[in-house]
Structure 1
Amino acid sequence: MSEQTTSTASKSGKAKWIVIAAILLFIGFAFKFLLPSGYSNDLSRIGKGQATLVHVRDNQTVQSHDLLAVMDGIRDHYADQVEFMLVDHNTPQGSGFMATHNALRTNLVLLDAQGNLVKVIHAPQSEESLSQEIDAMLSGAK
């Protein structure tokens, strides 16, 4: 009888680990596919000859997710002229960037090709309004 109990316990132990492994695998895939892709967080690239738009991201706010959708909508149009970046407000890098540029969570920061601050944008509502800001920066840089 105890051999059967040990066998059952062993099977339930294996099943438990299989379920845990499956959950961890699912979480890993979810992070890979749900996190924004194609956005650098390498702020050392700012000022290297291309204008930059940095989204100070707060993943806990709807505003931040909405801004990311707006950026996604126009990014391809400006791909040759503007580098689109994300920085998390909750990291030392993000906090330093915010302090340097007087930016808040969920702001967009426009920087010219030399890395000079052009404007801090407070949550544009549409792709059109963000495009107007970028166009104004690009035309002023010429």
Structure 2
Amino acid sequence: MGQDTTRSTRKGLPPWARMLVTPLILLVAAALIWSQLPKGAYSTDLSRIGDGQPALVLIYDSTFMAGMRVMGYMDEIRDDYTPQVHFLVANVGTPDGRRLADQHGVRDGAVLLYSDRGTLVEQLPAPASVEVLRQALDRSLMATR
């Protein structure tokens, strides 16, 4: 009268299903991580300001969070305005990014909106929502027409 350890009396998943659980969990985790990544890289080429197309420039500092939040807002509206607007990032960790931030007295998360000729049209200290950013971009586009 010992314990019955045959497969027919075991509870749980069949062996083939247990072998699939770990890869399935890894695949789902990878898909979730992938879906949270930004839609695409933003150009850091600030020479595009004033090249005949309006530009939205995010001042970004990797040691703070406001810039990442605003970049998420940019991700949400980018498809609505591309190709008529350049979406650029000025990283304050680079000389050009630091110069631009200092020139306008802004910090991480600030957005600078430029006309097609390179004139600063509007400056936002750190938009509080995607709608605030969208409205400012619409205003700046109307001002340049």
Indicate whether the TM-score tops 0.5: yes
Q: Which residue of 2 aligns with 1:87?
A: 90
Q: Give TM-score scaled by structure 1 length.
A: 0.71
Question: How many aligned positions are there?
Answer: 111
Instruction: Find out whether 1:49 has 2:37 as its counterpart.
Output: no
User: Is the partner of 1:48 in helix, strand or coil?
Assistant: coil
Identity of aligned residues (%): 35
Describe the superposition over 1:63-117 as per-residue Cα deviations: whole angstroms up to 9, x where unpaired: 1111110000000100022110011112211111112233222211111100111
Gaps of 5+ in 2: 1-35
User: Is the partner of 1:65 in helix, strand or coil?
Assistant: helix
Cα RMSD over matched residues? 2.0
Aligned pair in 2 of structure 1 residues 60, 133: CA closer, same or farther (>3 Å)?
same
User: Is the partner of 1:55 in helix, strand or coil?
Assistant: strand
Gaps of 5+ in 1: 1-32
How far apart are the structure 1 equivalents of 2:106 and 2:121? 12
> Which is helix-richer, 1 or 2?
1
How far apart are the structure 1 equivalents of 2:142 and 2:89? 24
Instruction: Find out whether 1:141 has 2:116 as its counterpart.
Output: no
Instruction: Find out whether 1:119 has 2:122 as its counterpart.
Output: yes
Describe the superposition over 1:99-142 as per-residue Cα deviations: whole angstroms up to 9, x where unpaired: 22332222111111001111110111211111100110111111
Q: Give TM-score scaled by structure 2 length.
A: 0.70
How far is 1:44 from its partner?
0.8
- Whose Rg is larger? 2
Conservation of the 8 A alpha-carbon contact between 2:66 and 2:108? no
Q: Which residue of 2 aligns with 1:130?
A: 133
Structure 1 runs of 4+ off > 4 angstroms? Answer: 33-36
User: Is the partner of 2:50 in helix, strand or coil?
Assistant: coil
